[in-house]
Structure 1
Amino acid sequence: MTTLDIAHEKQRSAPKAALAPAPQGGLRPSLVGLTRPQLMDALAGFGLPEKQLRMRAGQIWNGIYNRGLTNFEGMTTLSKDLRQGLEQAFDISRLEIVTEQKSVDGTRKWLLRLPSAVPGVPGPEIETVYIPEEGRGTLCISSQVGCTLTCTFCHTGTQKLVRNLTAGEIVGQILIARDALCEWPDGGRNSEDRLITNIVMMGMGEPLYNFENVRDALEVVSDGEGLSLSKRRITLSTSGVVPMIEKAGADIGCMLAISLHAVNDETRNKLVPLNKKYPIRELLDACRNYPGVSNARRITFEYVMLKGVNDSMEDAKELVRLLKGIPAKINLIPFNPWPGSPYECSDWAQIEKFSDFINRAGYASPVRTPRGRDIMAACGQLKSETVKKRASERFQETRAEAEA
């Protein structure tokens, strides 16, 4: 039995994933985001003979994830009749781009509209951000529309949860970014020269509250014959959904980041209300038991620097004590303000002092350079609200604030 056969049997025994999006008002179901076994199941339901399923799934997979095709017409390895039939039955088009903004530092942000569950009513929206850096490019993708966690330093937390994203909508964010960056072979760029080198599940939402769709999406993203991003270049960030952390390591196997942000339960209860359910001690125990954790696969602890809240040297000392024995690095994040935010960023001198202490204690503690602040694309600034203000108005206002 081959590896694919084993995967297919495993997938068949698991609950079937719905095609994404579910048909509404005659809309065709999408094949984007289906794992290989799910894609074969969809083609079997379409009526393809079983002996053709593996080959046809491979041809369609190549068209979507290697060539970036948005319809079946370009899949010339399929017969004309089959292409026409697939076009009538399924969708492989992109999500709708509402706005695209580019920061003065090269960061790009897309506001994307998802399919609507109600005909005639616009669908909900999400944001996706691409951050170019020297030698690498990171795409920050969303897993939910809004969020349930209400972290008080995070703009997304002020937007109520609308729904989970499907696996196709998660993968679709990557396809749109690759379109914009001309990363498909027809754009003249090969796999060794790609701009998107890393994926972080750090956009809107809590990934572990949308586990199955995130798992399936990342299986598609890491497939060596598709988008082919190593799981060591994919990082899933969680605010601390303790019961799902071990499962994430076992079933997904990507890198893990923890939104820690405080060294005691009293402070973290205010910053990350989920801490009241899963306090720091339980969270760190789950990190120590994360499958595969080692010095070569360290856990990243994210720590937003809030003036007068969590940035004292006593906090730094306690942070080092808490993480003892966990292969870790500490990512210090200067707070990125948003309209109405109740916090201020720590003074730069204090951030450097905090970082130096952690470095001397033996932990890598890079300070994340704020990127995309002028277009509200920096860490903690994402929110898809467009009802009150048009995107162009928000863009002009935030740019003016950044220049001031």
Structure 2
Amino acid sequence: MSVTLDLTQSRAKPQLAVPPALRPAPADEKPSLIGMSRERLGEALAAVGVPEKQVRMRTQQLWHWLYVRGVSDFSQMANVAKDLRQKLDDAYTIARPEIVTEQVSVDGTRKWVLRFSPKGAGRPVEIETVYIPEEGRGTLCVSSQVGCTLTCTFCHTGTQRLVRNLTPDEIVGQILLARDRLGDFPDAATPAGAIVPSEGRLVSNVVMMGMGEPLYNFDNVKEALGVASDGEGLSLSKRRITLSTSGVVPMIAKAGEEMGVMLAISLHATNDALRDELVPINKKYPLKDLLDACRAYPGLSNAKRITFEYVMLKGVNDSLADAKELVRILKGIPAKINLIPFNPWPGSRYECSDWDQIERFADFVNQAGYASPIRTPRGRDIFAACGQLKSESERMRKSERDAMEAARISELAAG
């Protein structure tokens, strides 16, 4: 059975005792230092009176405390002067996201529902973050938006309209929160009540595959991943960070040039007619354009392959003819193909392909020279599997959605 830990004690779910220290204080509107680049962190220090000649040294101190030691309170920064700690505390926050619920699947997968301040959305918003323990590594699935604009028909997240983009502190905060709860910061005492995995199950990989389309929140995702991959902090290799997109073609090359992380494409169909239905952004950026952008992805090689995600839908896209066409359209692209058994959710009209058919599909693709692992469904019992994430946040008003869409179009045109 799965276990649910409700940290707000506001829902009728099984609860475990939670030490008061793990119940976050009410969120305030002070800006967060989490997720800031070194340059912006230096500017924040200068704003509270740190002399210019000390800014670089103080920036390095804070960076170490935030991302190596993992502190969440300025009072824990032992080698920072007390008066400076007080100034920082008065002006900024380094608090973690508020945990609404924490669920543990029978297979060890963890899902957190996290709450953030409104930041213009009208009320506090919620997102979901998932940790998947595997042999020798642990993968954290991170959200980039509250809701999503793309309405992919097989995806539960797509049934929740966009509320707003997540900011760099909210994106990096998901990583810090997970590392806290897993006892994953070196030399730090494991907090009371933390869920500690068996040896080796740490946050070693990050995938931007949670709620939202990362390339529609480009600047914030870029800044957050820059912090996550900094070698003197969280120190996640860019080869262990994967950004998944449904196909925002104009931003793909820009992502390769400016982020340099691994790329995954949410593909799911081998022709425009079907992909228009499954992944409606295909009507704007059809398959040919998408695959051309993949072929031109900066740094693409056999050592840096693109992952193509392909959800297996019974009687929809799982025939051997589909497998043959998949091999044909990906010809010449260094690629791996992740076959994802469809994860059911309430109201979905799709069924998962039969396992024998998935294996036949995989065998054909593999014999054609492409690695085609079948992704083991994880966290289904707590709706933490691929395509199942959805929060309960208020939908964005239509005028706000239209304004954000217009801003994105303007940005793409300018780029």
Compute the TM-score of the two structures, normalised by the length of structure 1: 0.87
Q: Distance in 1 between matches of 2:136 and 2:224?
A: 25
Shift of 1:221: 0.2
Shift of 1:150: 0.2
Which deviates more from structure 2 when the two are superposed, residues 377-386 or residues 209-218?
Answer: 377-386
Among residues 41, 49, 52, which one is paired with 2:54 in the alignment? 52
Among residues 306, 324, 335, which one is paired with 1:317 in the alignment? 324
Q: 1:2-401 maps to which residues of 2 (within 5 A)? A: 27-117=29-119, 122-185=123-186, 186-187=188-189, 195-385=202-392
Q: Distance in 2 between matches of 1:117 and 1:327?
A: 41
Shift of 1:127: 0.0
Structure 2: segments with no counterpart, 5+ residues = 1-26, 191-195, 395-415
Shift of 1:118: 6.8
Local SS of the residue matching 1:378:
coil
**1:56-115 deviations in Å (ceiling 9; x for gaps):** 011111111111111111111111111111111110011100000000000000000011
Which deviates more from structure 2 when the two are superposed, residues 38-47 or residues 100-109?
Answer: 38-47
User: Aligned pairs, how many?
Assistant: 361
Q: Distance in 2 between matches of 1:250 and 1:311?
A: 34
Q: Distance in 2 between matches of 1:223 and 1:127?
A: 24
Compute the TM-score of the two structures, normalised by the length of structure 2: 0.85
Which deviates more from structure 2 when the two are superposed, residues 84-93 or residues 244-253?
Answer: 84-93
Q: Distance in 2 between matches of 1:100 and 1:232?
A: 28
Q: 4+ residue stretches of structure 1 with deviation over 3 A?
A: none
Shift of 1:47: 2.1
Q: Distance in 1 between matches of 2:133 and 2:28?
A: 40
Shift of 1:41: 1.4
Local SS of the residue matching 1:73:
helix
Q: Distance in 2 between matches of 1:163 and 1:54?
A: 33
Local SS of the residue matching 1:91:
coil
Local SS of the residue matching 1:257:
strand
The one-letter code sitting in structure 2 at the alignment partner of 1:235 is T
Query: Is the Cα–Cα contact under 8 Å of residues 134 and 201 in structure 2 kept in the other structure?
Result: no
Q: Distance in 2 between matches of 1:69 and 1:194?
A: 21
**1:375-404 deviations in Å (ceiling 9; x for gaps):** 0000000000278xxxxxxxxxxxxxxxxx
The one-letter code sitting in structure 2 at the alignment partner of 1:129 is V
Local SS of the residue matching 2:99:
strand
Shift of 1:27: 2.6
Local SS of the residue matching 2:74:
coil
Shift of 1:46: 2.1
Shift of 1:117: 3.5
The one-letter code sitting in structure 2 at the alignment partner of 1:42 is A
Query: Is the Cα–Cα contact under 8 Å of residues 133 and 201 in structure 2 kept in the other structure?
Result: no
Shift of 1:196: 0.8
Shift of 1:311: 0.4
Q: Distance in 1 between matches of 2:189 and 2:133?
A: 18
Shift of 1:240: 0.1
Identity of counterpart residues, as a percentage? 72
Local SS of the residue matching 1:290:
coil
